[in-house]
Amino acid sequence: MLSRRRLLGRAGALALATIPAVPRLSAGDASSSVLPGLPHHRPTAKRIVLMLHGGAPPQLDLFDYKPGLEKLHGQEIPPSVLMGQKLSTMTSGQKSRPILPSITPFKQYGQAGTWLSEWLPHTGSIADDICLIRSMRADAVNHAPAMTQLLTGAELPGRPSLGAWLDYAYGPINPDLPAYTVMTSRDKEASCGQLFFDFYWSAGFLPSRHQGVQLQPGRDPVLYLADPPGVSAPARRAWLDDLAALNRLRGGGDPETATRIAQYALAGRMQGSMPEAVGIEQEPQSVLDLYGPDVKRPGSFAMNCLRARRLLERGVRCVQLMHAGWDHHKNLTTQMRIQCQDTDQPAAGLVKDLKQRGLLDDTIVVWAAEFGRTPFLQGDLAKKKDWGRDHHPYAYSMWMAGGGVKRGLVYGTTDDFAFNVVDKPVHLHDLQATLLHLLGINHERLTFKFQGRPYRLTDVHGHVVKDVIA
């Protein structure tokens, strides 16, 4: 007596038995997992680290210098600038939208004389190594849809993130570590944080083995990786082997069962590799000093940046750092200083550390957010503690370094209010297409068929921004 499920399972297993076996990936042959035809062209990078600042840093206060706004402080922003564009509900009904110029002083950094906020002195020290894009554009006016679009190409959850696409395309560099890892942090006071959703590092409709592995702060970076009390390593190994054998016996060719078997095997290898990979105890003081005073505080952005460097040099292909705390609808003057102190030195320290180790040339470093913030005030102009800025997807700034990106370049221009892009716009899809290009992938050719049609990271959009490529 066979159930329908078991009959179909056996029939599928019989059909699969006629297909030549795929060579098993060994520790010394990570290249066997690369998709046929890749790379599409010669890559300039093989690794990427995404520093994503949830909540949206204000471009006008940090990256996009507009000294002419000083004389317009408190005046109403002209309707010709707003152009009736959609705003969030927090200011869409606000009767007055007074202009708020930058609350931070700016100065020029590097040989190129790049204007940056004086609250970012460490970023200023690497001004000649970065490409600053001031003409970014997004579509969504709320955090989760915008961050989802930045990472997956769509505003709704359900599609693969950039790291998952890279794992699907190239597989692991080091099979003893996950190809795609994620670490999260938030500001010291945890006052302006956004939530981190699992779909920010999801595999979407790709096989689930490609999703990001979230690392935890502290001594145990991966949950349940350590052996339980009283269980020896050989006993654990035997248990995993028996479980894998049972899964293979009962799996019936199910891809999720195959994924689970592969994840058990990876977890076993990570027991030896992961603690060493994220351990910073042996780092010399000179390296710790690069990342700033918070580098030893578990869960800090500084510690995560140092861990990212260690993972990248050990063969992790994509490291995604997500830092919350930039959602400044009020208390802008105090909260933004905390954010700059938390993130400025670690971000610059990561670039410097990669550079001195010879890793920056083939590693892309991205500093980005889901969107920017408005040049007009949210709050009461007479009460400085109430000063804030609303969400703004129509013009904002981000920067990149390494991996074939031009150095010391400022790309794109906004209007006199930092409200609209007037020259060289770069949409999120263009950024995604450019990053894939640097990694040797034609964004129009990396596809996966789902629900009857091929999908890609950039969907039906995106153009490579060739002007930012060295």
**Which pLDDT band holds residue 240 (cuts at 50, 70, 90)?**
confident
**Which pLDDT band holds residue 32 (cuts at 50, 70, 90)?**
low
DSSP H or E stretch at residue 255:
helix 255-278
- How big is the chain by its Cα radius of gyration, in Å? 24
Burial degree of 22 (CB within 10 A; 0-12, 13-18, 19+): exposed
Per-residue pLDDT reduced to its tens digit, 201-216: 999 999 999 999 999 8
Contact 205, 192 (CB under 8 A): no
Contact 193, 55 (CB under 8 A): yes
Contacts of 10 (CB under 8 A, 6+ apart): 2, 252
**Which pLDDT band holds residue 190 (cuts at 50, 70, 90)?**
low
Lowest mean pLDDT segment, chosen from 22-36, 61-75, 433-447: 22-36
pLDDT of residue 4: 63
User: In this structure, how many other beta carbons lie within 10 angstroms of the beta carbon of residue 200?
Assistant: 24
DSSP 132-198: EEEEEE-S-SSHHHHHHHHHHSSSSS-S--HHHHHHHHH--SSTTS-SEEEEEEE-TT--SPPP--G
CB contact burial 292-327 (16+ within 10 A = b; e otherwise): bebbeeeebbbbbbbbbbbbbbbbbbbbbbbbbbbb
Contact 159, 205 (CB under 8 A): yes
Average pLDDT score over residue span 215-244? 79
In the chain, what are the domain boundaries?
Answer: 34-224+283-468
**Which pLDDT band holds residue 28 (cuts at 50, 70, 90)?**
very low
Average pLDDT score over residue span 436-448? 98
Q: What is the pTM of this model?
A: 0.89
Q: How far apart are the first and last CA of the chain?
A: 66
User: In this structure, how many other beta carbons lie within 10 angstroms of the beta carbon of residue 338?
Assistant: 16
DSSP 293-332: TTTTSTT-HHHHHHHHHHHHHTT-SEEEEEEE----SS-H
Lowest mean pLDDT segment, chosen from 78-92, 124-138, 286-300: 78-92
Per-residue pLDDT reduced to its tens digit, 114-167: 999 999 999 999 999 999 999 999 999 999 999 999 999 999 999 999 999 999
Per-residue pLDDT reduced to its tens digit, 36-56: 999 999 999 999 999 999 999
Mean pLDDT of the chain: 89
Per-residue pLDDT reduced to its tens digit, 305-314: 999 999 999 9
> Is the bond leading into 255 cis (omega within 30 degrees of zero)?
no
Does domain 34-224+283-468 match CATH 3.30.365.10? no
Integer angstrom CA distances of residue 67 from 73, 344, 361, 423: 11, 23, 35, 19
